[in-house]
């Protein structure tokens, strides 16, 4: 059974039959049953309390006699750790609280994060360890578009569910195993174009230049931005690429300044991790480019962009994301803060990627119990169990993966709320709903 504290009715939950059920509060005083009416008939035999649902061991799929193994792959110490590490911490915090409250199915969650430092070779080794040695039931994160692209065939062959990867590129809409709860790059580009148009008095007035990390998702996001801006009547000039781990962007700033002077660029779209974003923003400040606003992907929607970045640039910066942090009025707020502290990550409940990872753990928990209703727990069964709707405790829009492809059409433009220290959306998710057209695939040219 889902541990009771997690089953708070979600602020943006739904009433679908397969949504997570509400549970009684175990701290409440028991209600005294009314005395039975007098009768001459013998009292019926007292029924035994139903036993806790359980499943047999399945060690080849990560289900042992005392644990359920779940993996995470991503960058904990490399060039994008400034973003991905929070995803891992959020999932770890969720499982810490779940285990404190008894785990599920008579077992504890065994969380197994692996650090690839944003390196595809390291990721291949880690994937083999998690799937062949540890034999995890699923992944609650798989960071790096170059890594998810490389591992796609193996993920399909193993029927391995991947919940909530921190990027959503086209290939992750093709595979049956990816369950995306972060807005796709095509949707983020559409939302960016809408935000730009509202800022400059109409998209027809926009002259946009993109800056992206030199990875597959950077190229894809830039292409989607070009498509979105030009379809709506704006101008897209060019994309400048930054190597992962770069510490300066002098050459890119020369090109950006030239495009501003010669072509009238008045907006920048930014793809990358918080670390890469800070390098670009500092580069802009260093050469005096402080009046060109920025709209970035979810990696830019990070607290550090505003707490560590040059204020003359960050004041006009927004990042797109699909989740809400604990400073917002959502059902999960107190729980995220409590679990972050329990896991040793106090304060991270105010980070959007932490919220993403936390939700991934919660969804995995719900899906495990749903799959167990069939009498067994396996990768294949978990994949089927994920094809439905899930409670989100208000962290994101209602999830329903019964349709294919499994993706999210939820997002907003975020910045930092200095008062709470957490992230806030410029407008509610519903405000941006019309920017999600459900169309994917690059059709430029």
Q: What is the dihedral of CA 85, 90, 92, 94, to 10 degrees?
A: 180
Average pLDDT, stretch 189-194? 96
Quick one: DSSP state of residue 349? G
Name the pLDDT band for 48 (thresholds 50, 70, 90): very low
Q: What is the pLDDT of residue 34?
A: 34
Phi, psi of 359 (to 5 degrees): -65, -40
Quick: pLDDT tens for 264-317.
Answer: 999 999 999 999 999 999 999 999 999 999 999 999 999 999 999 999 999 999
β-partners of residue 178 are 162
Strand order in the sheet with 162-163: 108-115, 67-74, 138-142, 162-163, 178-179
- Average pLDDT score over residue span 119-147: 97
The pair of three-digit structure tokens given for residue 8, joined into one six-digit string = 């708070």
Inform me whether the pLDDT recorded for 444 exceeds 70. no
Task: Tell which residue, 92, 149, 146, has the closest CA to residue 117.
Answer: 146
Q: Are 317 and 290 in contact (CB under 8 A)?
A: no
Q: Show Cβ contacts of residue 360 under 8 Å, excluding neighbours closer than 6 positions.
A: 87, 90, 91, 94, 140, 141, 163, 164, 181
Tell whether the model's pLDDT for residue 18 goes beyond 60.
no
CB of 388 closer than 8 Å to CB of 401 = yes
Of the candidates 183, 172, 170, the residue with the CA atom closest to the CA atom of residue 410: 183
Structure tokens at 198: 């509202």
Q: Does residue 39 surpass a pLDDT of 60? A: no
Indicate the angle between helix axes 352-372 and 81-100, nearest 10 degrees: 40
Q: How far apart are CA 63 and CA 56, in angstroms?
A: 8
pLDDT of residue 20: 40
- pLDDT level of residue 132 (50, 70, 90 thresholds): very high
pLDDT value for 50: 47
According to DSSP, residue 5 is labeled G
- Dist CA 371 CA 264 (whole Å): 56
The CA distance from 340 to 349, in Å, is 6
Task: Return the pLDDT at 51.
Answer: 52
CB under 8 A, 24+ apart: contacts of 288-292: 289/253, 289/256, 289/257, 289/260, 289/313, 291/316, 292/260, 292/265, 292/266, 292/267, 292/268, 292/316
Q: How confident is the model at residue 96 (pLDDT cuts 50, 70, 90)?
A: very high
Average pLDDT over residues 27-56: 46
The structure tokens 């409250």 sit at 101
Higher pLDDT, 33 or 311: 311
For 235-246, what is the mean pLDDT? 96
Closest by CA to 93, choosing from 350, 352, 338, is 338
Alpha-carbon span 384 to 432, nearest angstrom: 30
Structure-token pair, residue 115 = 């650090």
Rounded to 5°, the CA angle 294-270-430 comes to 70
Q: Give the pLDDT confidence score for residue 30 in this predicted structure.
A: 32
């Amino acid at each position: 059974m889902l541990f009771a504290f997690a089953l708070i009715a979600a602020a943006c939950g739904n009433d679908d039959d397969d949504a997570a059920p509400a549970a009684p509060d175990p701290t409440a005083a028991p209600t005294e049953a009314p005395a039975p009416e007098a009768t001459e008939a013998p009292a019926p035999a007292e029924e035994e309390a139903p036993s806790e649902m359980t499943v047999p061991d399945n060690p080849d799929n990560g289900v042992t006699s005392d644990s359920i193994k779940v993996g995470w792959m991503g960058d904990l110490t490399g060039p994008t750790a400034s973003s991905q590490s929070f995803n891992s911490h959020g999932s770890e915090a969720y499982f810490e609280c779940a285990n404190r409250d008894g785990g599920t199915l008579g077992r504890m969650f065994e969380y197994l994060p692996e650090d690839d430092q944003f390196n595809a070779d390291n990721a291949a080794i880690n994937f083999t360890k998690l799937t062949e040695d540890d034999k995890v039931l699923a992944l609650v994160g798989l960071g790096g578009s170059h890594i998810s692209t490389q591992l796609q065939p193996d993920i399909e062959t193993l029927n391995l569910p991947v919940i909530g990867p921190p990027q959503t590129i086209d290939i992750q809409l093709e595979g049956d195993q990816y369950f995306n709860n972060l807005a796709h790059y095509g949707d983020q580009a559409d939302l960016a174009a809408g935000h730009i148009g509202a800022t400059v008095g109409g998209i027809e007035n926009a002259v946009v230049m993109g800056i992206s990390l030199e990875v597959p998702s950077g190229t894809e996001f830039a292409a989607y931005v070009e498509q979105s801006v030009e379809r709506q009547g704006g101008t897209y000039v060019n994309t400048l690429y930054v190597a992962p781990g770069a510490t300066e962007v002098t050459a890119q700033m020369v090109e950006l300044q030239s495009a501003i002077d010669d072509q009238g660029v008045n907006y920048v779209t930014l793809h990358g991790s918080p670390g890469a974003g800070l390098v670009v923003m500092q580069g802009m400040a260093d050469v005096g480019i402080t009046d060109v606003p920025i709209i970035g992907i979810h990696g830019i929607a990070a607290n550090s962009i505003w707490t560590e970045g040059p204020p003359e640039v960050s004041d006009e910066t927004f990042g797109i994301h699909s989740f809400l942090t604990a400073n917002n009025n959502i059902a999960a707020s107190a729980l995220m803060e409590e679990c972050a502290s329990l896991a040793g990550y106090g304060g991270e409940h105010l980070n959007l990627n932490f919220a993403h990872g936390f939700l991934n753990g919660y969804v995995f928990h719900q899906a495990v119990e749903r799959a167990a209703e069939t009498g067994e727990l396996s990768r294949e069964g978990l994949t089927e169990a994920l094809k439905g709707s899930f409670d989100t405790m208000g962290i994101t829009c209602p999830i329903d993966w019964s349709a294919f492809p499994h993706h999210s059409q939820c997002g907003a433009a975020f910045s930092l709320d200095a008062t709470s220290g957490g992230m806030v959306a410029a407008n509610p998710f519903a405000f941006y709903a019309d920017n999600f057209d459900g169309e994917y695939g690059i059709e430029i040219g």
